[in-house]
Amino acid sequence: MGIGYADSGAITSLEAAFRAQRAERRRASVVALAILAVCLVAAAWVSEFYPSTLIAGVPRIGEYFHRIAPTLDWRHLFGGVDTDGSLAAWFYRLDSWVLLLLETANMAALGTLGGVVLALPLAFPAARNLGAPNPIRIACRRLLEAMRTVPEIVFALIFVWAFGVGALAGILAIALHTAGALGKLFADAMENVEMRPWEGVHASGGSWFQACRYAVLPAALPDLLSTSLLRFEINIRSASVIGFVGAGGIGEELYQVISFNYYEEISAIVVLLIVTVSLVDLLSEKLRRRVIEAVS
């Protein structure tokens, strides 16, 4: 009987302890949610995110989309450039815009390539499992953080001031920001590789550089290639935006038509950008799958 009472008392005390712990967690959750709510309200107040302003501005968004919508006429839809209401009249500068889109794609491709070239040698010492000295590892990680923290458009402003208006400024801006973003992802991929090949290279007398080249790089290569191709897709969009500050590509043209309120030209360029990005996404996805299958 004594043992039964002891077991019952232990169970009761455990249940009481569990209820007390659960109540404490609930109180902590309520306090955390209250603090979060206060922070969100303060952030909305500081940034002037007022519901009244939002409600008043929503109809104006619809009005702007109505203005940039083309005035197409189904009866003359496939008419010539001089025919009002035709697709040809809407895209009357298609030849110039296509060349600018090609320049934008070239900026994204060269910027991505430059970013990969910069990121790869920094990713090896930045990976925690590869045994680089702490000062070097920390320096590489802080450098990568600095490069990806600064937006492309800020880099573009700096390089436009240094090199003048043109695609070179855009390529350099994309390359630096891409290096910071890819360097972090490359290091993460290297930290997830199997370390037995690394240990085998070291056991056979290989150097740190040889272990990185022959043990880590082949194992991480599928992830590195996949991440690089995905970043190229992102850089297509970035290359379109940094043209607003004179860094070349279709962004410069888009900025001009927005500034002068050429509404139908705005919608035409936006449609071309959407089509271009969609095509690049599809092609990049197919290429990424083939590359991964080839190296896996």
2-59 pLDDT tens trace:
455 556 666 777 777 778 888 888 888 899 999 999 998 888 888 878 788 888 888 8
Residue 286 CA to residue 264 CA, distance in Å, equals 34
Label residue 169 left, alpha or beta by phi (over 0 means left) and psi (-120 to 50 means alpha): alpha
Residues 158-196: pLDDT tens digits? 999 998 888 899 999 999 999 999 999 999 999 988 888
* b/e code 222-235 from CB counts within 10 Å (16+ = b): bbbbbbbbbbbbbb
Residue 51 CA to residue 41 CA, distance in Å, equals 12
Which percentage of the chain shows pLDDT scores above 90? 27
Model pTM score: 0.77
Look at residues 273, 240, 269, 101 and name the one whose alpha carbon lies nearest to residue 173: 240
pLDDT at 1: 47
Q: What value does the mean pLDDT take over residues 270-286?
A: 84
Decide: 220 and 193 in contact? Cβ < 8 Å. Answer: yes
For domain 93-295, give the fold. MetI-like fold (1.10.3720)
Residue 211 CA to residue 205 CA, distance in Å, equals 10
pLDDT at 243: 84
Residues 93-127: pLDDT tens digits? 888 999 999 999 899 999 999 999 999 999 999 99
Tokens of 172: 């350099």
Give, rounded to a whole angstrom, the gap between the first and last alpha carbons of the chain.
66
